[in-house]
Amino acid sequence: MREKRQQAERRGRKAETAAAWFLRLKGYRILEERYRSPYGEIDLIAARGHQIVMVEVKARQTEALARESVSLRQRGRIEKAALDWLAKNRKMDNPVRFDVITIAPGHVPTHIKDAWRPEA
């Protein structure tokens, strides 16, 4: 069981690295990778101009499975972690967007901009 967890961890890191380079090629600056807060983790935090982009990276066998794997509960944790990061980095006034990058074998990563909006 431990070995499966380690393999999943390695696949996740590899997918996050690919997603970070993909964003860089699109003109984004990577501000933070694997930001951990008491509320949850954000895979990538990027910026383009003044906009801060919180990115969840999902690697699955198909793009459809990757899209479906971001749960409502997970989005809530990411939103709370984002508020924590914004406060610590004095970026509360910057526009913020929540994106998802899906990674599926044999496909170019898919960047889903504005994948969700926080509940008010």
Q: Find out whether 109 and 102 touch, Cβ atoms under 8 Å.
A: yes
Q: What is the pTM of this model?
A: 0.90
CATH class as words, domain 2-116: alpha beta
Q: Domain spans of the chain?
A: 2-116
Q: What are phi and psi of 27, to 5 degrees?
A: 95, 15
Structure confidence by residue, pLDDT tens digits, 22-42: 999 999 999 999 999 999 999
Residue 18, CA distances (Å) to 21, 27, 57, 86, 89 in order: 5, 15, 10, 24, 25
The two three-digit tokens of residue 2, written as one number: 């431990």
Instruction: Note the pLDDT of residue 9.
Output: 79
Q: Could you give the residue ranges of the DSSP H alpha helices within 1-120?
A: 2-25, 63-68, 72-88
